[in-house]
Structure 1
């Protein structure tokens, strides 16, 4: 109990820095928190957010953490499906997931051939390691992140010393993109398991 209280105090005292370093725009965080703007800034300045308010903010700025339980649950459900013979063929599962993602593709968001290829490779890896259900859940997370990018609710974070930007999809994957005159081009999907220098060299050579 003492440890939990110490952690709460630590987070509460550093909430302004946490929000400052978040990839989300402050306006978006405030809107999603349900706290009025004047009250939000007052609580942030005085470091007096209630525990449930801090939890709500954490779920907004770190949705991938909130997704871990969903992914683990999906793995367990997938194993049960296999055991009980409730198995969907690969084509059906992937078509359904890709149809949902396709709705996010428009004149503003453009997937390059390289990013499509990266996504297909990631899809194969997830299927091999975890199964179809986890891939479906990954696509749902990806859809949410693309929507945030499309709606302008994210702060564009620079990728290293390049002119590109990065978007965290899950703990293990980033999308590398560039901002053109009237659209966002998705260039690559990188795996954080790979050596950062290898990722950098791969991206700068290809792009």
Structure 2
């Protein structure tokens, strides 16, 4: 099934910030390698969104580990995938709770 992928404002901001960080601290090559992993993860989510576990932090969300430092939180319907946020797993988990309180 070909679901449309929608990024929340939060997810878009975090992704752009992550791209800037990867280029500044590492290299364009590292950024491009991350994009490849992200694209692969999103393609799996599009085709089999239920394959990833439900989040214990917020009911109705699922989580996909893209790298050992980055996790995508998303929800899905038969027509679309809504990426709610990207989370840096090195942060304290309570920061994630705060993000979800602002999410509808």
How many pairs does the alignment contain? 102
1:149 aligns with 2:45: yes
Q: 1:205, CA displacement in angstroms?
A: 2.4
Q: Does the C-alpha gap of structure 1 residues 107 and 155 become closer, same or farther in structure 2, counting only changes over 3 Å?
A: closer
Aligned to 2:14: 118
Aligned to 2:77: 180
Aligned to 1:137: 33
Look up the SS of the partner of 2:51 in the other structure.
coil
Deviation sequence 1:35-55 (CA, Å, 0-9, x none): xxxxxxxxxxxxxxxxxxxxx
Look up the SS of the partner of 1:194 in the other structure.
coil
- Superposed structure 1 runs of 4+ greater than 4 Å apart: none
Unaligned runs of 5+ in 1: 1-105
Aligned to 2:97: 200
User: Does the 8 Å contact 2:57/2:97 carry over to 1?
Assistant: no
Higher strand share: 2
Distance in 1 (CA, whole Å) between partners of 2:98 and 2:49 is: 29
TM-score, length of structure 1 as denominator length: 0.45
Unaligned runs of 5+ in 2: none
Q: How does 1:61-80 map to 2 (within 5 A)?
A: none
RCO (CA 8 Å, sep 6+): is it higher in 1 or 2? 2
Distance in 1 (CA, whole Å) between partners of 2:49 and 2:74 is: 15
Q: How does 1:31-110 map to 2 (within 5 A)?
A: 107-110=3-6
Q: 1:112, CA displacement in angstroms?
A: 2.1
TM-score, length of structure 2 as denominator length: 0.85
Query: Which is worse superposed, 110-119 or 132-141?
Result: 110-119
Greater radius of gyration (CA): 1
Distance in 2 (CA, whole Å) between partners of 1:180 and 1:204 is: 21
Higher helix share: 1
Q: 1:203, CA displacement in angstroms?
A: 2.5
How big is the alpha-carbon RMSD for the aligned residues of Structure 1 and Structure 2?
1.9
